[in-house]
Amino acid sequence: MSQTIYEQIGGEEIVRKLVNRFYDLMDTQPGAAEIRALHPENLDRSREKLFMFLVGWMGGPPLYIERYGHPRLRARHLPFPIGEQERDQWLQCMNGALAEVVTDQLLRQQLALSFTQIADFMRNKPGEI
C-alpha cells in the first residue's frame, strides 16, 4: 500500500517546519517584497492556515476543511492581486523551504511541481492571466 505525501514527508512536524521556513523566507528576503506585502504584518494566522491546508492537501487529517470548509483556493485569493511576479516570489520562498526541509529529492521535486501548478493557477492580475 502506498503512503500519502503527508506520511512520506514525515507528518505534522515536517509540514509545520516547511510552513515556518516558507514564511521566514518570505519575511526576510528582499526579493519577496511584493508577495510579503499581500500578507498581514503578523504572519501567525497565515502560518496556521497554510499548515492546516497543507496537512489535508498532502493526505493527512482535513484540518483546514474541518475549520473553514472547502479551501476554494482561487476564490479565497481573488482579493489579492497575484501576477507573475507574486507567483514567482511565492515559489522562490516555497522552493527554498522545500530545499531546506524535505530531504527526499523525488518527493521535493513532486511537491515543487505541484506547488508551481497551484501558484500559477492563483494568478489573477488583468493582462497576466
Let me know if residue 74 belongs to a domain. Answer: yes
- Percent of the chain's residues with pLDDT above 70: 98
> Is the per-residue pLDDT at 47 higher than 80?
yes
- Burial track 51-85 (b if 16+ CB lie within 10 A, e otherwise): bbbbbbbbebeebbeeeeeebeeeeebeeeebbee
> Is the per-residue pLDDT at 52 higher than 80?
yes
Let me know if residue 127 belongs to a domain. Answer: no
| Cell numbers for 63 | 484540518
Number of domains in the chain: 1
Q: What is the pLDDT averaged over residues 58-74?
A: 96
Distance CA 14, CA 78 (A): 29
36-46, pLDDT tens digit by residue?
A: 999 999 999 99
Task: Provide the CATH number for the domain around residue 70.
Answer: 1.10.490.10
CB 63 within 8 A of CB 56: yes
Let me know if residue 126 belongs to a domain. Answer: no
Which amino acid would we find at residue 13?
A: E
Average pLDDT, the chain: 96
Distance CA 26, CA 110 (A): 22
Let me know if residue 128 belongs to a domain. Answer: no
The residues, ordered by sequence, that sit 6+ positions from 8 with a Cβ below 8 Å of its Cβ are: 104, 107
Let me know if residue 129 belongs to a domain. Answer: no
Let me know if residue 72 belongs to a domain. Answer: yes
Domain enclosing residue 9, as ranges? 5-121
Let me know if residue 18 belongs to a domain. Answer: yes
DSSP run (H or E) holding 114: helix 105-121
How many residues in total does the chain contain? 129
97-117, pLDDT tens digit by residue?
A: 999 999 999 999 999 999 999
